[in-house]
Homo-oligomer: A and B are copies of this chain.
């Protein structure tokens, strides 16, 4: 399978966490990275307005804002706070020109997963008009089952597709991340279904290391793990997706290295393995 073109390479600011936003933009551009997905913490150094200005002037493609979500809560107050926070995220996405917000939907120990999914759906529906007015789309990101306890009650692409179908709005779709979904025997057919729903809004890559030394912060660079990246990309593209390919790696190991050197590795891994 041919390499994906560099014009589709996007990097998440969290991937190069040690770089503040202006340094990240500069470094990405020097490395030939075309797109950027901005994590909300990266907006803090300059503030939203200045960050937006920097991004516009850079000419980089702003792919997504990460992240909204965390809808479930034990009390009504908790759930209301989550909605407020999602509206702020929508404001921020609009300000920086991000067409999509990635939703890490949330899970709370003590709330059964079925109930949590109900609260997630209600949460998305509650902020949907606000998102539409801002022309920002919402992408449900199904998370690996190892995060079902405290990060997301949506743990398969099938569940995300079901939710998209139930909500049935062109403003709500899915972010497909290979790290979370690679193990699922239903992945190929659910990617196909997601495409038919017109719902593939984002595609995230990295790799699954064996052994994985940390539940959160030990993602691998593409090619150093066991995820069949080219196969999954072929499924996503067959389903009609031709958008940016986003490199999202949380790694204590890589955050410790020189981030310019790391970007070089990302680019090489993207060309060879994605």
Q: Measuring CB to CB, which residues of chain A are less than 8 angstroms from any residue of chain B? A: 109-110, 112-114, 144-146, 148-150, 155-156, 159, 182-185, 208-215, 225-226, 228
Contact = CB atoms under 8 A, between A and B. Distances in A.
A216 to B, nearest CB: 8
Contact of A146 (B145, B156, B225, B226): B145
B226 A149 contact: yes
Given A110-B226, A113-B183, A215-B215, A146 B149 contact: no
A150 B112 CA distance: 29
Contacts of A208: 149
Contacts of A113: 183, 185
Nearest to A209: B149
A209 B226 CA distance: 26
14 contacts: A145-B184, A148-B182, A148-B183, A149-B208, A149-B209, A149-B210, A149-B211, A149-B212, A149-B226, A155-B183, A156-B185, A159-B185, A214-B215, A215-B215
A226 B213 CA distance: 22
A214 B182 CA distance: 21
Given A110-B226, A155-B183, A214-B215, 6 more contacts: A145-B183, A146-B146, A150-B211, A150-B226, A159-B185, A212-B215
A145 B272 CA distance: 26
Contact of A210 (B109, B183, B212, B228): B109
Contacts of A156: 185
B225 A149 contact: yes
A186 to B, nearest CB: 10
Contacts of A159: 185
A5 B214 CA distance: 37
A204 B91 CA distance: 47
A212 B149 CA distance: 9
